[in-house]
Chain A
Amino acid sequence: METLAALTIAVLVTCGVYLVLRARTFPVVLGLSLLSYAVNLFLFFTGRLVTGAPPLAGGSVPTADPIPQALVLTAIVIGFGMTAFVMILALRARGELGNDHVDGKGGNI
């Protein structure tokens, strides 16, 4: 299972990085969201793979590590804010630069 988890994250990161390096804003945004998925999973897995034991006090011990879950929750929220911002920024950039190239290269599209 650990191998699978590592593989999944590897694929997500690879796809994310590749998209981030594209020349148009939209794929870059897609890449960034893929990266944040990958990072959240990574952060989540720092609690290792514990099945069927949600961290509820007084319940069955041992449970999954609650800290990574709390961190991931924060990370998800912040990630949402950032994704939303960069998406709208891409719109604004198109408005200001006339096209959706990350450097504003090329004519109006």
Chain B
Amino acid sequence: MNHWLIVPILLPLLAGVFNLLLVNRRPHLQRTLSLGATAALAVVAMYLVAIADAGHIEVYQLGNWPAPFGIVLVLDRLSAMLILLTAIVALLTLLYAINGDDQRGRDFHVLFQLQLLGLNGAFLTGDLFNLFVFFEILLIASYGLALYGFGAVRTRASLHYVVLNLIGSGLFLIAVGTLYAITGTLNMADLALKIAATDAEEMALLRTSALLLLVVFGLKAAILPLHLWLPALYSNAAAPVAALFAIMTKVGVYAILRTYTLIFPAEGSVPDVASDLLLPLALLTVAIGAIGVLGSQRLREMIAYLVVVSVGTLLAGIGQFNVGGITAALYYLPHTTLVTAGLFLLADLIARQRGSTDDHFTPGPPLLQPTTLGVLFFLAAVAAAGMPPLSGFLGKLLLLKSVQPQHAIWLWSIVLSGSLVALIALSRAGSRLFWKTEGEQATTMQADFFRLAPAATLLAMSVAMMVLAGPLTRFAEATATQLLMPQQYLDAVLSSEETS
């Protein structure tokens, strides 16, 4: 029984609680606490990845009740990887936020930490209803963060986001209820076993719940046609919030990956749900996202649509349910998360120096630091457009190679045209923002090191991911193999005994 498994949940919880005690009292103390907790989280996450990469799956029985009766936390490669990714994004975002953005409203650090609590819980839990609870935690926290700073546009976008997700939560409960009504259990591993054993009589109800879950997770991940809430929300959120939200859509992707490899495996007793629907939907998402990227009027809007494209790309990999596809997705996932987060921070830095023109693609005042920001933007654009040699290209390469011949035409043409469109749009954006200037400089306030460093680090990760492509892909491949052979997961969860 390795107590470290629950630390990623307790650390942000306690950090949030103590921040709540210090609320509106000592900003610097809040910062130190929040930062310390997040840094510690990153360290723990690395340790967990090390454990998971040893290959065996760790199980933590809460309340010392054995699965399926108690709730268990399960640490496999996938959950470990996502917790580490979350910690990295969170840490750098936080480093950016403590330059002042965290004082624009109340309780930033409380909400931030509890957001992390929700994310980590969702990645770790092995119980479907508990997953619902953690979804609610990360959602309610994200509502608070999305609204952070207010303003008409932001409030409207958040209102839409909230209402949609409340409906989603209802659907989630209906799906969970239906599953319980048939299998009489909630533990994911146990569900997998029971579902594999159910007879054809129950198929209709099972498929309903499987499809409902796809709708719920699709809403979180922003799959077509459930992506429409995303652009307004992301492009109008406060910079650190938008950067942190880069991980939010990945929760939906994670849930899809987990559910349709473990509970409803592609070749399982409840067929033709994810395996048939996911790939076409994913490709359509890429296409619509690319169109959005091309049609964007503002840099932030463009980044938001790049998020939609990346979600489609990820699911195009996952939707093939083979090692190659999932490996590609799992290499691409950290890439797109880190680069998106970096881009949102960079967009903020650029907008700050363009005065009233903000991040609109209209001729504006020349930037104060064209070279520094320009180099960063060039790097980000190359990575985001999937141009060689950065990680974006490698991810797409893995994806192009993974596809079965019968799908190749569609996937190749859509993904490659997506890259071309991104290339056109981003080169246009860069040329408009950096070069097509008019008038005098709008500000004399340079972006200092402490704002530049987090953005730069996030973007530099793409270079690191290129250099380390070999080991990273090996990890991704091992993860994909682990996911496609759920027996190990089932044994680990269900064979575990009470320690007392």
A and B touch in the complex (CB under 8 A): yes
Residue of A nearest to B143 (CB): A85
A102 touches B181 (CB 8 A): no
The answer on a CB contact under 8 Å between A102 and B166 is: no
Question: Which of A35, A36, A85 is in CB contact (< 8 Å) with B140?
Answer: A85
Question: Which of B136, B152, B166 is the one whose CB lies under 8 Å from A32?
Answer: B166
Contact B133 A96 (CB under 8 A): no
**Given A85-B143, A85-B162, A86-B163, residue A104 in contact with residue B177 (CB < 8 A):** no
- Which of B31-39, B85-93, B168-176, B331-339 is the interface stretch? B168-176
Q: Is A46 an interface residue (CB 8 A)?
A: yes
* Other-chain residue from A35, A38, A46, A78 in contact with B181 (beta carbon distance below 8 A): A46
CA A35 to CA B174, docked complex, whole Å: 11
| Any A CB within 8 A of the CB of B129 | yes
**Contact assessment for B156 and A104 in the assembled complex, using a CB-CB cutoff below 8 Å:** yes
Q: Which listed residue, B150, B160, B173, touches A102 by the CB 8 Å rule?
A: B160
User: Does B296 sit at the interface, judged by CB under 8 A?
Assistant: no
The residues in B between 105 and 156 inclusive whose CB is less than 8 angstroms from any CB of A are 129, 133, 136, 140, 143, 147, 150-152, 155-156
Inter-chain contact A96/B150, CB cutoff 8 Å:
yes
Task: Specify the chain B residue showing the minimal Cβ separation from A104.
Answer: B156
Residues 65-109 of A at the B interface (beta carbon under 8 Å): 67-68, 71, 74-75, 78, 81-82, 85-86, 89-90, 92-93, 96-97, 102-104
Which residues of the other chain, B, contact A82 by a CB distance below 8 angstroms?
Answer: 136, 140, 166, 169
| Residues 26 to 67 of chain A near chain B (Cβ within 8 Å) | 28, 32, 35-36, 38-39, 42-43, 45-46, 67
For chain B, which range describes its interface: under 10, 10 to 19, 20 to 34, or 35 or more residues?
20 to 34
Contacts of A20 in B (CB 8 A): 163, 167
Kindly list chain A residues whose C-beta atoms are within 8 Å of the C-beta of B166: 32, 35, 82, 86
B180 cross-chain contacts in A, Cβ below 8 A: 46, 67-68, 71
How far apart sit A24 and B334, CA to CA, in the bound complex (Å)? 40
Within 8 A of A (CB), among B201-249: none
Q: Which residues of A contact B160 (CB under 8 A)?
A: 102
CA distance A17 to B172 in the complex (A): 15
Chain B residues engaging chain A, CB cutoff 8 angstroms: 129, 133, 136, 140, 143, 147, 150-152, 155-156, 158-160, 162-163, 166-167, 169-170, 173-174, 176-178, 180-181, 186
Q: List 12 A-B contacts (CB under 8 A).
A: A35-B167, A46-B180, A67-B180, A74-B133, A81-B140, A89-B143, A89-B158, A93-B155, A93-B156, A96-B151, A96-B155, A104-B152
8 closest residue pairs by CB, A with B: A46-B181, A96-B155, A46-B177, A43-B177, A39-B170, A96-B152, A39-B173, A46-B180
Taking A85-B143, A90-B159, A97-B155 as known contacts, 7 extra A-B pairs with beta carbons closer than 8 A to each other, sorted by chain A number, are A20-B167, A32-B163, A35-B166, A71-B177, A86-B162, A102-B160, A104-B152
